[in-house]
Amino acid sequence: MGPDVDCDPDTEECGENPDGGGTGVCSDDNDCSAGRYCYDDSCVSETFICTLLNCAGQPGVCDPAARECVNAEVCTSVNDCLEGNLCVANRCEPEADLCSECSENEECVYDRTNLSVSCVDPTIVCEADTRSCDGDTLVVCNANGTQEARINCREGCDGTELRCILPEADSCADAYEVVDGDSFEIDWTEFSNYYQPSEESACVPINRLFNTSGADVAFSATVPPGEQLTVSMTSAVDYGAIYLLEECVDVVESCVEPSATDFIRGEDQFVRAAAYTNDTDAPVTLTIIADTGVGTLDNPATLDFSIGLPLCEPGTYQCAEGQREVCNAFGNAYTQLPFCPFGCGAEADQCAEAPNSVCSAAVDLAAEGMTYSSTVADLGVGAQVRYGSGGSLDGDQCNFASSSRQDDLVGGTGYFSVDLVAGQRITATLAAEADMAMWISRGCPDIQPEDSEDETNLNCQRATNIAGASSTETLTYVAAVSDTFILAVQAVEEGDAEGEFVLDVSIEDPVCAGLANGSVLGCFDADTLSICNGDFPTFYGCEGGCVDGACGTPRGDRCIDAITLAPGASFEGDFANITNKLNAPSSCFEGTPPGGRDAVFAVELNANDILEATLTTDVYAGIYVLNNCPGLDTISGACEVGMLDGDAENQYVEFFAEVAGTYYVVVDAGTTATETGAFTLSLNTRQGVCAPNSTFCANGAFQTCSETGDSVVESVNCPFACNPAGTQCGGPQSPNNTCTSSLLIDASTTITDVFGKAGDVRFERNYLLTSDADCYDGASTNGRDAVYQLQLDPTEGVVITYEASSSANGEPVMYLVEDCADSTAIRTSCIASSVGDGGVIDYISEDGGTYFLIVDHTDVADLANDAFAVSFELFDTPCDTLNVQRCINGGTTIEICDERGNQELIECDYGCALDNSDPQNVEAFCQVREGDTCERPFEILTNSYTYTDSLSGYSNTYTPYIEASGTSCTGWRGAGGEVVFAVPMTEQDVLTASITSQFDGALWVTGNCDNPDLATFECVDGSDDVFGEGTETLTLSAGSTKTYFIMVDSVDFGATGTFELQVDITRAP
């Protein structure tokens, strides 16, 4: 709504002349009465103008005459001033002018209450070095006024003392002032958790923040110039932190980095320490906060303080009362280093070398009770022992035990002397934390400096370097002579010098000399069995004690501790209660032998007993029988029979005992993976007759035993009774010395005999075979000889095997001859020979005849073991002629016989024929089907010829069609089978041929059939006039005298059916 001339906004009274009788119309303010203003050609009040300007809703005051909002002449608040102005001292002034005096580091701050402007440093947050209580909160401002700490007081805030009502030192505001030498026992439960750094700082690393979440205690210390403050906290657990503050406000911002820290982890306590050195010219007061983790409040701590000048340079050494000391990390005390057995060395940080670091001062082990311990670092460096093995070693080398590392020994060395008698064994064990080795020499080694022209001679006998650091090294040596020996322990490298070593030595006499390995010496003590291993004993711990040279309660762990089990008895056990000691011999098993936990059982058997052993178990396990089980468990050659079959319900073996004695049965888990499982071993016996599968001579017969040993399955009478040993059949009573007295062999047999020797001569030296013979190129046969006669039929053969008991001083020789009247006849009629034990002659007689076999020897001297055996195996061949090919069975079968009489028969579908082109090598072959090819055509030898057949089975070899030109002498293809006929013709003979067929036939004639291509190109006439079955006819006049070939062909591939060929020939006059 606009101004109303009839209405006075101030009085809300309307009239026709509100401005004193005028019309109320104006052009400027002068037309209006005082206090009124011209607006829109009307006079209005000041209120109206100010309402339009809305000065009440924005900074400044209304100026109706100027028609705008302006600064008030007298202001009472900043709202009386326009934007960009401030009310200061009741006057509106430009803000930029008021703040122009503030520096860059100051902020211009307007005080609305006091209507003033000031320049303020933003880092000042409180009145410097003041305290006040805000309820139960203690407010502490630092000395610069830049930080304010608000401390919640557990027992309230004392407004008079301006401190928390709580134990002294509970906060830095109440820090306890300490001096040099103060010590405090801290019960963390009496203190609060005021300080908990939330981020890493100079003195609280990130990985220790978790140790500041519990109670803390504050101390204050003043450190004079040049002096050092050291704080240590000792507790039974590893917890807590120590940090130093310049001011008691912000633990991160005011934290002072220590000049040194230390942490000592003991067996029953932990020490954490920090130090601060005042490098300024003025005293420095620090607040020390000792803090702890939440879960450690029940573990008190001890705090120790020291303030003073440093005592020493950290890390430096001194020797005090013969022992080394090192200055601690703070330089305020010396700490003793590990004990030096021989006092300080030349340098304060070193121990003196052990006196026995030189051989001349070697420690007498006997005087030390054969044991000695010391520290590795005390051993002096000097000797160098190089790895060696075998013979021809240099003077600074030594024979190292097998499996030793091939490192030279160059570290510290300690020498020990020991007296040994020849044959005695020394066993030295060295337990060391460092990597150490051992070696033994005869007397002191002669060690020369590196620059010496003389060579070092260690005179080293044995060395070992196997175990490595933190383990035990063992050296064993048997003295060859009686002497004083030097045992040396040596670090492998110079750097191997940490920790201690313990040397233990034992000396044994050769009590087992002359006894067999595994011999039981008896009980070593009440619980140990002593067993021979070489010249010295080894030991086995018994269960149930050792009584009368045996374990009281055998557990089957070893051969010497076998469990006795009688035939007919059983044993129930579990693999969980036995160990893996024996290695099952692979010779007793078809596949992989068992290799797990095992138990040994002993059983007494009589001669010819057959042991039946059954193992019943649900786990994979095997069983085997031993004929001997020595004390050292060396069973590799003692296994008789074994069984490991994962598919079998039970494991079962049988064993035949040829002689009475103790035998052993071993139950063995299949693999090392088997650690438990019940088993039952059952033993039974039955009486046998002979060794299973054995052959032997008895009662004048050569006999074969059954597989089980229960019976003899074969008995063959010997022609001349058994040999004296009863192992095989023997030779004739009268020696077969010559051809005339030769022994006739007319059946397969084996003859055993002896050549004889001085005092018991049987055979003579009648025949001599030399390398002049065609069948032999060896040394002359000067030995005694025996002769055997063979009468062989044509194609009959023999395999002869000659086995001699001895090949000493020469070779056994046998040779087959056709005439043995004398040595000359032998050389000229020799057919075959064989040299060596087990030699074989394999011969087939082509024509049959009489032959002589002579067994001989190249050594003229009599043989110590002069027995021999000759086996004859006669055999027939299926062929009656050797090296032949021929047609048999009416010409339907090829017979091929090779030089060995091996026969091969080949059936021929279309008959057999011979190739006689090489009369010395006639070959038989199967013929092709007649009429199938030009090689075997049907021959037409008459002037009139008729032939009827079926096309089935004839091949498609020839065609009248020329692929290259696409032409055919029949006018069409001949893609099916054809039948070939040969017709000898004379020039100008006239041939008329016709075929009548049940298929689409073709008829053609060629003048050359050497191969299929020539047959096609030499086609002289053809006919294929009829489509489908019917009759084809052609007439041909011979152009020359030769054989022509008629092709009865078929057009279609695979065609079948019958045909009839009619041929008529008119011969030329």
Residues 886/916, Cβ–Cβ less than 8 Å: no
Instruction: State which of 286-295, 415-424, 699-708 shows the largest mean pLDDT.
Output: 415-424
User: d(Cα 624, Cα 611) in Å, to the nearest integer?
Assistant: 12
Does 22 score more than 50 pLDDT? no
Average pLDDT of 893-899?
90
Q: What angle do CA 833, 836, 840 make, to 5 degrees?
A: 50
48-84 pLDDT tens trace: 888 777 776 667 778 888 888 888 888 888 888 888 8
Q: How far apart are CA 484 and CA 415, in angstroms?
A: 12
Average pLDDT of span 885-904:
90
Per CATH, domain 554-687 is 2.60.120.380: yes
pLDDT digits (tens, 9 = 90+) for 944-997: 999 999 999 899 999 999 988 889 999 888 899 999 999 999 999 999 999 999
Structure tokens at 651: 């494991």
Cα(399)–Cα(388) distance, rounded to whole angstroms? Answer: 5
| Choice between 23 and 481, residue whose per-residue pLDDT is larger | 481
Task: Give me the pLDDT at residue 11, please.
Answer: 40
Return the domain boundaries, the chain.
Answer: 123-166, 178-308, 355-508, 510-553, 554-687, 731-862, 884-926, 938-1066
- Please give the CATH number for the structural domain made up of 355-508: 2.60.120.680
Q: Residue 238 — very low, low, confident or very high, per pLDDT cuts 50/70/90?
A: confident
State pLDDT tens for residues 797-847.
999 999 987 777 679 999 999 998 888 899 999 999 999 999 999 999 989
* CA–CA dist 875, 904 (Å, integer): 18
Which of 985, 1032, 1029, 1028 has the alpha carbon at shortest distance from 1006?
985
Same fold, 554-687 and 938-1066: yes
Q: Nearest CA to 226 among 300, 307, 343, 124?
A: 307
The pLDDT-based confidence of 485 (bands split at 50, 70, 90) is very high
Percent of the chain, pLDDT > 70?
93
Is the confidence at residue 376, as pLDDT, over 90? no
HSE at residue 176, side-chain half, CA atoms within 13 A, is 18
Distances (CA, A) of 637 to 408, 601, 627, 760, 904: 40, 18, 9, 37, 48
Pick the range with the lowest mean pLDDT from 107-121, 403-417, 661-675, 1042-1056.
107-121
The Cα 85–Cα 62 span in angstroms is: 16
pLDDT digits (tens, 9 = 90+) for 901-910: 888 999 998 8
Q: Give pLDDT tens digits for 560-582.
A: 899 999 999 999 999 999 999 88
How far apart, in whole angstroms, are the C-alpha atoms of residue 796 and residue 900? 9
Q: What is the mean pLDDT of the chain?
A: 86
The highest-confidence range among 45-59, 69-83, 238-252, 360-374, by mean pLDDT, is: 360-374
Residue-wise pLDDT tens digits, 157-168? 888 877 766 556
Return the DSSP state at 729. B
Cβ-proximal residues to 1053 (8 Å cutoff; 6+ apart), any chain: 956, 975, 976
Q: What is the pLDDT of residues 76-99, one digit of tens each?
A: 888 888 888 888 888 888 888 888
Which range is most confident: 537-546, 605-614, 622-631?
605-614
> Considering only CA atoms, which of 173, 196, 191 is closest in space to residue 249?
173
CATH number of 178-308: 2.60.120
CATH code at 938-1066: 2.60.120.380
